[in-house]
Chain A
Amino acid sequence: MTLKTDAVGKEWPATTYEVGKEKIGEYARVIGIENPVHFDREAAKAAGYRDVVAPPMFCVVYSAPALGPAMFDPEVAMNFAAMVHGGQEFVWGEPACSGDEITTGAKCLQIFEKDGKGFYVFETVSTNQDGAEVVRGTWTNIVRGV
């Protein structure tokens, strides 16, 4: 079977997420990070941050919502029953701090077949209210038996 590749290059509408202090703390606690810059405003400011700062991997909280419509797009036609999250890359820029408004756009980079599996590669780019890039994510989903 040939994989449908019509969606390569397609972009989806951006989503916006406002970062909150307590949400950062909730995420940091689950991962077990104890650095006070994630919980305490004064500690964050003393370390040179504008406000309580998010751990780098908090980026999943604000960037993943942009990916939803891409993953469920019938033009992408990904078979969820046979899908696994195969790989992930993030490249960080400006730190994400409490009060930031982060806008994330999603794009389909690649769809290809290898060893009987379908590879669906998406990119998300997140920028803050000042237009600075906060994180760039590359999400690889693998579908068995295409």
Chain B
Amino acid sequence: MAELSAGEQIAELRVTPDKYLPHRYAGASGDFNPIHIDPEFAKAVGLPNTILHGLYMMGLVARASAEGAGGGDPRSLKRLSVQFRGMGAPETEIVVTGTVKSVEGGRAVIDVVAAQGDNQTIRNAEAEVAL
């Protein structure tokens, strides 16, 4: 694969989770918090509707980092740190973008953002990927 260098963008990842994605993620992950799967419950606790699992979006950030810099090898992702700063909604496209901050000793540190339009659901994410 092509060598990455500081300032470069990794391939962006675009995913539109369908209406039932949070149900499948709940099943796959074991996190059945009703704010993700029950619209009535979500509204009762003051949310506009059900929201995506933060860790699902972190899963997409991990996927984008490993595929964009590590050739998709699961071993390539060494560290991932994120801050959850916005709620994600189902049926809305998520765009994950990453900018290489530094490359040293065969490892790239990448600044990653996951956003739905102007809403940055994950920001200040830092991925360390073995090249």
Q: Using CB atoms and an 8 Å cutoff, list the residues of chain A in contact with chain B.
A: 23, 26-27, 29-33, 35, 37-38, 47, 53-57, 60-61, 64-65, 81, 84-92, 95, 138
Contacts and interface: CB of A to CB of B under 8 A. Distances in A.
Contacts of B78: 91-92
Interface of B: 15, 21, 24-25, 27-31, 45, 54-56, 58-60, 62-63, 66, 72-75, 77-84
Nearest to B23: A30
Given A30-B28, A84-B84, A56 B54 contact: no
B30 A64 contact: yes
Contacts of A92: 77-79
Q: Which of A31, A38, A55, A138 has the most CB of B within 10 A?
A: A31
Nearest to A53: B74
A95 B29 contact: no
Contact of B82 (A30, A61, A87): A87
Contacts, number: 90
A50 to B, nearest CB: 12
Contact of A88 (B54, B63, B72, B73): B54
A56 B77 contact: yes
A56 B74 contact: yes
21 contacts: A23-B28, A30-B21, A30-B24, A30-B28, A31-B60, A33-B72, A35-B73, A37-B74, A38-B74, A47-B73, A53-B75, A55-B63, A56-B62, A57-B55, A61-B30, A64-B29, A85-B84, A87-B82, A90-B81, A92-B79, A138-B81
A65 B32 CA distance: 12
Given A60-B31, A89-B79, A92-B78, 12 more contacts: A32-B60, A32-B63, A35-B72, A56-B66, A56-B80, A60-B55, A61-B29, A64-B29, A85-B55, A88-B81, A91-B78, A91-B79
